[in-house]
């Protein structure tokens, strides 16, 4: 320990294969991302639990999640990254930066990506949402724009505490095609539990004619709830967190 008991704070940036884990948040005796990361951190002398910037559900992947860790010693970043990547499976440490920050509340923008494809195989089925129906891209581009702006997303989240603030601002949405895939992007100040999967399921039902644009406007305005079904976690990625 340093002479003045100083704590060194680090931002650790990492990706993971969500199909290997029971979600990101720590749960007793469960194979969760945070459990595995905290156990690996012990091998480099860090015993304080990590604090994640964002939580993801079972099966949801992360290209870039962020956590705060504290050490009693100043770390050799290159050595720690190499050591952690050696002992971890399904999690990859991308960077380690010394800095003072609050991982959840200092985050300005969180972005998620959802990928659907008519073709899957044994190697990509956990990473794509299998969807064989024809896509009306113009209709979906019109529908996804309805999510933009500040809204009360209480009808687009899983069960919450009564006092939970369900107002979020979606700054930008985007849909584009890449090869045989359709890729959906959402950029917001934050997301509620299950929000992206509920919003995606609604979009796909609009594509199939089961719901329409007015139904979406009614649900997002809190006038009437039309659908609360979750889309598959396969194909959903926490893409980035900006500070």
Q: Is position 163 annotated as part of the catalytic site?
A: no
Handedness of CA 22, 27, 30, 35 (dihedral sign): positive
- Determine how β-strand 8-16 pairs with β-strand 91-98: antiparallel
**Calpha distance 230→29 (Å, rounded):** 26
**Calpha distance 67→48 (Å, rounded):** 12
What long-range pairs does 172-178 form, CB within 8 A, spacing at least 24?
Answer: 172/148, 173/144, 173/145, 173/147, 173/148, 174/144, 175/137, 175/140, 175/141, 175/144, 177/137
Selecting among 57, 106, 163, 201, the annotated active-site residue is 57
Active-site residue list? 57
């Amino acid at each position: 320990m340093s002479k003045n008991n100083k704590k060194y704070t680090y931002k650790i940036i990492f990706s993971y294969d969500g199909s290997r884990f029971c979600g990101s948040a720590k749960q007793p005796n469960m194979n969760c991302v945070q459990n595995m990361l905290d156990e690996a951190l012990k091998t480099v002398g860090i015993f304080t639990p990590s604090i994640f910037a964002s939580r993801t559900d079972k099966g949801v992947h992360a290209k870039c999640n962020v956590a705060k860790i504290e050490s009693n010693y100043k770390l050799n970043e290159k050595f720690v990254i190499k050591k952690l990547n050696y002992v971890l499976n399904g999690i990859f440490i991308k960077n380690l930066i010394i800095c003072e920050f609050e991982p959840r509340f200092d985050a300005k923008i969180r972005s998620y990506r959802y990928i659907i494809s008519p073709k899957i195989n044994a190697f990509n089925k956990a990473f794509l949402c299998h969807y064989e129906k024809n896509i009306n891209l113009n209709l979906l581009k019109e529908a996804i724009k309805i999510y933009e702006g500040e809204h009360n997303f209480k009808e687009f989240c899983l069960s919450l505490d009564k006092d939970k603030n369900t107002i979020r601002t979606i700054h930008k949405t985007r849909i584009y095609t890449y090869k045989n895939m359709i890729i959906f992007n959402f950029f917001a100040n934050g997301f509620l539990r299950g929000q992206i999967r509920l919003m995606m399921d609604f979009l796909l039902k609009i594509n199939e004619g089961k719901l329409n644009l007015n139904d979406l406007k009614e649900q997002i305005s809190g006038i009437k709830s039309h659908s609360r079904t979750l889309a598959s976690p396969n194909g959903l990625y926490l893409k980035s967190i900006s500070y």
